[in-house]
Structure 1
Amino acid sequence: MTKRAVIHVENTENLVEFAEFLVSEGWIILSANKTEEILKKQKLPVTRENSLSENNMVKADTYKLIRRLMMTKYHEEDEPYISHPDAEDNNIFIVCMNMLPSINTSIVSKQFDNQLYPKNFFVTTTLRCAFANYENLLILTDPNDYKEAMIQLRTGNISKDFRTYLAAKALNLVSAFDAGLSASILQSSKYNELFMNYMMLPFKRELQLHYGMNAQQEAYFYKSPSEEGSVGNFLKYQAKDLTYTLVNDISYAWRQINTLFALLKDQLTVKSTNSDGYEFTTQFTPLTGTVFSLAVKFGTILGASHATNVLDSFKATFTYDAVTTTDTVFACSSVINTEAAEEIVKGNFAAIVAPSFTTEAKQILSQNKKTKLVPSAKVTNINLEARFINGGLLVQTQDNTLFNQWKVRTKNRPSQIQTDELVFGMLLAMGARSYSAVLLKQNSICGISQGCTSEKRAIDGVLYEAIKFSERASGIVGDQSEISKEIDTSNIGEILVCDGAIPFCETTKKLIDSGVKAILQTGGTASDEEFIDYCNEHGVVMVFTGMTHLSF
């Protein structure tokens, strides 16, 4: 009895080894296109199967292959052989096919007006039909299964459980491919259907991490289709040493850096009004050439800054909370050079994320074996964020709108320097867990509170954090919870930003007494007018945005 195997794969991993085994066992291989070329280069005999050809315009050929698969009947050695005329032609017992699911919203273009499906669409049809005859077919879609398949084929005893398992994996691949294709169409600019009836995106299980958020938890990285993001290729080589928490922090830090760069590299403008109702346009200074840096630990910002070079940006970020760099991720928008690396290596960082590293910088940073170097140049373009909940999935668009308007509620407007720092502060608050408040001085964090249960507690927290930072900067070593009486609190910060509405209270008075000159907040509390009057009396400018940036 002739044994045939259909092989048509996009993922060619382990392909040659499997094909060599089949040939050695007397199998006839049916193939076409790239797979056929690879096998022929290895001097392996291949029979051209026209129905697998990308240039096949005759659908009857595909239907004929499907019919042959549906008619195939597996026989035990002691069973009588089928006697109908085309039985020999139906002896296709292995279907080894796969394709790479992806999302490509450019698919909806003129070239696809009459044909939305790609050339390899027939693969899903073939696999789905093969599933209907899984008891007689060995359906292989994952190269990792070839080894076990060879073992069972060699023994001549293929278990039903193994066939079922492979058939289910084939359906999983088919559903991922179909999901990617439907998302490519629905999420294209032509339809812009982000919230599809069925939220299916073909995320692929890429690899297993060392452990989850805690050692008793398992964790895997599922790769976004056609995207590398901040951790794509990097994880392939270092996943064994990475935890769920560290990978999450790497991604979070790089996303924040890209958000800062994307929104501030060009001249951002916003419609504004004065306290007297006069309308004007606020312009922000484009920060092209500026280096942004950020320190993150467990999804919490530990420091941030921007400066004209990598070293100064790092120093301002690192100085804010230098004692907690263990397990911390440092991210930078520019290439890490030698000068910066010599300072960065002094901190016990878990990972350094940047567009790239100079050769000398790599050598310096490699002195700390525990520090991972993560070169990142892209962020994923999926404009959605989701959270599993009991009974389903919560999905929303990402918060990408910084402001719709500025309402200057005090008599004076912020200066250009203050304006630019207010924007920087709001970008940081926007990325922090709510409620959050940020205190800035000279484009660097000098106080930040995050994950607070109210705006009032966020304001209380940012004052406390700013004073503790002043203690550290002054070299005062004291109780971690108590505030030293030696510290001068007259100029601890100049710019105050909150992702919600700031109530007028004793803490806000203390912040103004401690040097705050400009405030940016949502506005909308019962004490707004009293707060505005107090700011006017003390020469402080305050701007309302009317827009919250809550996140958790």
Structure 2
Amino acid sequence: MRKRALISVSNKEDIIDFTKGLVELGYEIISTGGTLRTIQDAGISARAVEEITGFPEMMDGRVKTLHPSVHGGLLGKRSSRIHRKQMEENKIVPIDVVVVNLYPFQETLQKTGVTHEEMIENIDIGGPAMLRSSAKNYHDVTVVVDPQDYEQVLMDLRMDQLDLEKRRSLAAKVFRHTANYDALIANYLTTETGEDFPETYTVTYEKAQDLRYGENPHQQAAFFKDPVSTSMSLALAEQLHGKELSYNNIQDGNAALEILSEYREPATVAVKHMNPCGIGVAADVYQAFQKAYDGDPVSIFGGIVACNREIEAATAEKLSEIFVEIVIAPGFTNEALAMLTRKKNIRLLKLEMKTDGSAYHKLTTVKGGVLIQQNDHGEIAKEALTVMTERKPSEQELADLQFAWKAVKHVKSNAIVLGKENQTVGVGAGQMNRIGSAMIAIEQAGEKAQGSVLASDAFFPMPDTVEAAVQAGVTAIIQPGGSKRDQDSIDVCNEHGVAMVYTGMRHFKH
């Protein structure tokens, strides 16, 4: 009996050459709709699926392959005497090769101005059904979902080397593909219904690249991207220079972008081990970089720098004087690019700096599960701050307090940030007690602590942090409040004329 191949593809890349190869191998071609027309227009003989099913394509193409003559031909086990008998009795002919890819739901999702009705019509039903039937019966059916596999499959068929292991591999790819497809649909409809945390939570990512290793050389790793994200993401960046990003590079780069998304004015962020070591905001990128650098000229060594404005020559010259792993910016002037590319190992990434500011889910894996939460997009206007001390902060102090409050959100807890005039001057991160973080920030700031403000990501359990800040020359403090011993800290501030405001919001970051 002549072998059969069923072909029904939305993505018609390379399908003509693949179909010709199957015909040369003696396969009869069955096809549907637009694919059938494409094949026949290329001069290839093919039968319409209606000839097999005896039913016309109907309901705007929603029903064309959902028929026992198709699925019986896919699911019938050749090794089963009962299956063979039932196929013969019902005039069902086996289908040996299936080539299917699906309606472009993902591509439609990424377009602007698409209606809900358009999204629904781009949900494929018959395609996934054929893929799943074929993949389930991979012992007898070769199923191809990816045009990248056409050449190898043809070669294996010609050499009679498409063995069970290869068919199983193709089947596994099919189920990954349909799972990804269904996850996109489920997430779209779940978002439409406004459910944040439904009874099951399905996510899907596509491999962006294999990585040389993870956090350490003995750990394997890869980078997967959100297939529909359009926000500031390293997965969307264009690498202009330097070697491939490492696992740690991506972690630090992501941290830098999350911090940078806080600012609309020209800003520069320097990051080390996922903590900001310097943040500067100014009238232009050069001044912003200088502030970020001066905030901690030691820790920036070997770090990552991200700017939300194009890098020009003056800033590039400053960057070329120090060792940084990565520079991320929305662009580089030709002069800046020529200057920075003289450094062999620096990685230069071009990325459009746009963010809609909306909340999104952050996932953290734990053994046997995953924690899911909204990102910390909490902000507080100066009018919402509560002054707790006898002295109110000045307008300049209020501006500095709000700047420091934005920064401390992105520092690992326990977190203390000293800031002054749109510049971080001291950052204390990730200590097991709050006074420890404060002492690191104060020591780092040195003389710059004089006249600075202090932000704390959580309340002070005792007044020791405030006492250290006062001694260092801090003039105003911003913190959530809520400790049983809040009054002790307020009393210290009042004694020394330091202003303190409460946010009523904390910024833990574990």
Q: TM-score, normalised by structure 2?
A: 0.85
Contact 2:62 2:126 in 1 (8 A): no
CA–CA distance in 1 between the matches of 2:316 and 2:288?
Answer: 12
TM-superposition CA deviations, 1:219-253 (whole Å, max 9, x none): 11111021254222447898972211101111221
Against the structure 1 CA distance between its residues 224 and 395, is the aligned structure 2 distance closer, same or farther, given a 3 Å change threshold? same
Matches within 5 A, 1:452-491: 452-467=431-446, 470=447, 491=449
CA–CA distance in 1 between the matches of 2:338 and 2:419?
Answer: 34
CA–CA distance in 2 between the matches of 1:449 and 1:46?
Answer: 72
Aligned position for 1:27: 27
Correspondent of 2:268 among 273, 293, 314? 293
Q: How far has the Cα of 1:496 moved from its partner?
A: 0.4
Question: 2:348 is paired with a residue of what secondary structure?
Answer: strand
1:243 equivalent to 2:230? Answer no
Against the structure 1 CA distance between its residues 58 and 192, is the aligned structure 2 distance closer, same or farther, given a 3 Å change threshold? closer
**Structure 2: which amino acid aligns with 1:315?**
Q
Question: 1:373 is paired with a residue of what secondary structure?
Answer: strand
1:540 equivalent to 2:498? Answer yes
Aligned position for 1:483: none
Q: How far has the Cα of 1:85 moved from its partner?
A: 8.6
Contact 1:16 1:39 in 2 (8 A): yes
TM-superposition CA deviations, 1:452-488 (whole Å, max 9, x none): 1122222222222222xx5xxxxxxxxxxxxxxxxxx
1:315 equivalent to 2:279? Answer no
Matches within 5 A, 1:130-149: 130-149=134-153
Contact 2:241 2:349 in 1 (8 A): no
Aligned position for 1:337: 312
Matches within 5 A, 1:141-290: 141-188=145-192, 191-227=193-229, 229-234=232-237, 241-258=244-261, 260-261=262-263, 265=264, 290=265
CA–CA distance in 2 between the matches of 1:249 and 1:232?
Answer: 13
Question: 1:308 is paired with a residue of what secondary structure?
Answer: coil
Q: How far has the Cα of 1:121 moved from its partner?
A: 3.3
CA–CA distance in 2 between the matches of 1:72 and 1:107?
Answer: 43
Aligned position for 1:499: 457
Identity %: 25
CA–CA distance in 2 between the matches of 1:240 and 1:95?
Answer: 40
CA–CA distance in 1 between the matches of 2:73 and 2:482?
Answer: 68
Question: 1:125 is paired with a residue of what secondary structure?
Answer: helix
Against the structure 1 CA distance between its residues 542 and 344, is the aligned structure 2 distance closer, same or farther, given a 3 Å change threshold? same
Against the structure 1 CA distance between its residues 442 and 233, is the aligned structure 2 distance closer, same or farther, given a 3 Å change threshold? closer
Against the structure 1 CA distance between its residues 181 and 159, is the aligned structure 2 distance closer, same or farther, given a 3 Å change threshold? same
Question: 2:96 is paired with a residue of what secondary structure?
Answer: strand
Correspondent of 2:71 among 64, 67, 71? 67
Against the structure 1 CA distance between its residues 2 and 246, is the aligned structure 2 distance closer, same or farther, given a 3 Å change threshold? same
RMSD of aligned residue pairs (Cα, Å): 3.6
Q: How far has the Cα of 1:155 moved from its partner?
A: 2.0
CA–CA distance in 1 between the matches of 2:33 and 2:407?
Answer: 51
Aligned position for 1:390: 367
Matches within 5 A, 1:526-537: 526-537=484-495
Aligned position for 1:118: 122
Q: How far has the Cα of 1:14 moved from its partner?
A: 5.9
1:415 equivalent to 2:394? Answer yes
**Structure 1: which amino acid aligns with 2:22?**
L
Aligned position for 2:6: 6
**Structure 1: which amino acid aligns with 2:4?**
R
Q: How far has the Cα of 1:124 moved from its partner?
A: 1.3
CA–CA distance in 2 between the matches of 1:33 and 1:65?
Answer: 17
Show structure 2 runs of 5+ residues with no match: 51-55
**Structure 1: which amino acid aligns with 2:227?**
P
Against the structure 1 CA distance between its residues 530 and 324, is the aligned structure 2 distance closer, same or farther, given a 3 Å change threshold? closer
CA–CA distance in 2 between the matches of 1:109 and 1:516?
Answer: 53
Correspondent of 1:94 among 94, 97, 113? 97
**Structure 2: which amino acid aligns with 1:530?**
D
Against the structure 1 CA distance between its residues 306 and 21, is the aligned structure 2 distance closer, same or farther, given a 3 Å change threshold? same
Question: 2:390 is paired with a residue of what secondary structure?
Answer: coil
Aligned position for 1:328: 303
**Structure 2: which amino acid aligns with 1:323?**
V
Q: How far has the Cα of 1:425 moved from its partner?
A: 0.9
CA–CA distance in 2 between the matches of 1:450 and 1:96?
Answer: 54
Aligned position for 2:53: none
Aligned position for 1:513: 471
CA–CA distance in 2 between the matches of 1:548 and 1:521?
Answer: 8
Against the structure 1 CA distance between its residues 412 and 163, is the aligned structure 2 distance closer, same or farther, given a 3 Å change threshold? same
Contact 1:72 1:91 in 2 (8 A): yes
CA–CA distance in 2 between the matches of 1:13 and 1:234?
Answer: 26
CA–CA distance in 2 between the matches of 1:387 and 1:171?
Answer: 25
Against the structure 1 CA distance between its residues 117 and 34, is the aligned structure 2 distance closer, same or farther, given a 3 Å change threshold? closer
CA–CA distance in 2 between the matches of 1:38 and 1:329?
Answer: 50
Contact 1:70 1:129 in 2 (8 A): yes
Contact 1:107 1:116 in 2 (8 A): no
Aligned length: 494
CA–CA distance in 1 between the matches of 2:175 and 2:349?
Answer: 35
CA–CA distance in 2 between the matches of 1:239 and 1:116?
Answer: 43
Against the structure 1 CA distance between its residues 316 and 110, is the aligned structure 2 distance closer, same or farther, given a 3 Å change threshold? closer
Against the structure 1 CA distance between its residues 13 and 213, is the aligned structure 2 distance closer, same or farther, given a 3 Å change threshold? farther
Q: How far has the Cα of 1:60 moved from its partner?
A: 4.8
Aligned position for 2:507: 549
Contact 1:447 1:466 in 2 (8 A): yes
CA–CA distance in 1 between the matches of 2:201 and 2:241?
Answer: 31
Against the structure 1 CA distance between its residues 125 and 511, is the aligned structure 2 distance closer, same or farther, given a 3 Å change threshold? same
Question: 2:440 is paired with a residue of what secondary structure?
Answer: helix
CA–CA distance in 1 between the matches of 2:241 and 2:85?
Answer: 52
CA–CA distance in 1 between the matches of 2:287 and 2:480?
Answer: 32
**Structure 2: which amino acid aligns with 1:341?**
A
Contact 2:105 2:123 in 1 (8 A): no
Contact 1:74 1:137 in 2 (8 A): no
Q: How far has the Cα of 1:328 moved from its partner?
A: 1.2
